[in-house]
Chain A
């Protein structure tokens, strides 16, 4: 039994409102549940913000109601005329993904955070805003190829790197930068990688003047001193991110 009482109902969620500067400004530091990551963040006094924590309105479709109703994810039936529906909450959800996406969001995002804090020198007292999303490599490369703000050497490497059909992308930024729709770091993961025990899923990462990728020749990760300046974030199918 949940706070919605005995109501058992299913709705479709098909989108969300645009991210505004106000929403970014009001975003609180993320409540990191992973003890290891939380410890590192606390020790380095990092202000860590997660785009997924922004309390956006989502777009709901329900065949009982007019279409495209906006509502919070924790109150999906707040717009219903009958009061007893207002307490409904989401107890389960299904996200349709391509069948070959073996690396789930939970594991992918944790892998990203682990790599960020264990392989890169994250400055103390810094502010990090992260954006994490799934996309196809075609869409990503198309967007990267026409992105004039992306540093050319890193762009050349990424465009000619063999990528799987689907990839997880993590972009690092800060509050000021993200309001200009810019980021200063990028991590690319193989979303079709089934082995999540290790760093196998990491394809390439660029953060804080370092570019890391797995070198097939030496069978080792390689660290390159290659600065990446701020670049426009990926917004292809994520308009209004």
Chain B
């Protein structure tokens, strides 16, 4: 019978057995994730403005030569 090798699970199981795995739900981690979300909200807003301006500006381009 064929044996399915899964090295990924083996490595992760070994890390868990060695107490080297931490679910990122501590206050510090959640604050970090929240900061990323907030930052990305700003980035997305900035991107949408630039994207729209780029489209409007590109619509006026005329190739002359």
Chain B residues touching A, majority SS: helix
Provide the bound-state CA to CA distance between A115 and B24, in Å.
13
* A8-B63 contact, Cβ under 8 Å, with A161-B8, A198-B40: yes
Are B35 and A118 in contact, CB atoms less than 8 angstroms apart? Answer: yes
**B6 CB contacts on chain A under 8 angstroms:** 160
Chain A residues touching B, majority SS: mixed
Number of A-B contacts (CB under 8 A): 112
**B21 CB contacts on chain A under 8 angstroms:** 222-225
Interface size on B, residues (CB 8 A): 36
Binary contact readout A74-118 vs B (1 if CB under 8 angstroms, 0 otherwise): 000000000000000001100000000000101100110011001
* A36-B40 contact, Cβ under 8 Å, with A9-B65, A10-B63, A224-B21: no
B25 interface residue (CB < 8 Å to A): yes
Are A157 and B24 in contact, CB atoms less than 8 angstroms apart? Answer: no
B52 interface residue (CB < 8 Å to A): no
* A221-B29 contact, Cβ under 8 Å, with A9-B64, A9-B65, A156-B8: yes
Q: Mark out the residues of chain B between 17 and 63 whose CB falls within 8 Å of any chain A CB in the assembled complex.
A: 20-25, 29, 32-33, 35-37, 39-44, 47, 50, 54, 57-58, 61-63
Interface centre among B32, B58, B61 (most CB of A within 10 A): B32
Provide the bound-state CA to CA distance between A111 and B65, in Å.
40
B11 interface residue (CB < 8 Å to A): yes
Provide the bound-state CA to CA distance between A215 and B11, in Å.
14
Chain A interface (Cβ within 8 Å of chain B)? 6-10, 34, 36-37, 91-92, 104, 106-107, 110-111, 114-115, 118-119, 153, 156-157, 159-161, 196-199, 212, 215, 218, 220-226
Q: Can you list 11 A-B contacts with CB-CB less than 8 angstroms, sorted by A residue number?
A: A92-B61, A107-B40, A115-B36, A153-B11, A196-B44, A197-B40, A199-B33, A220-B25, A221-B29, A223-B24, A224-B21
Chain B interface (Cβ within 8 Å of chain A)? 6-12, 15, 20-25, 29, 32-33, 35-37, 39-44, 47, 50, 54, 57-58, 61-65
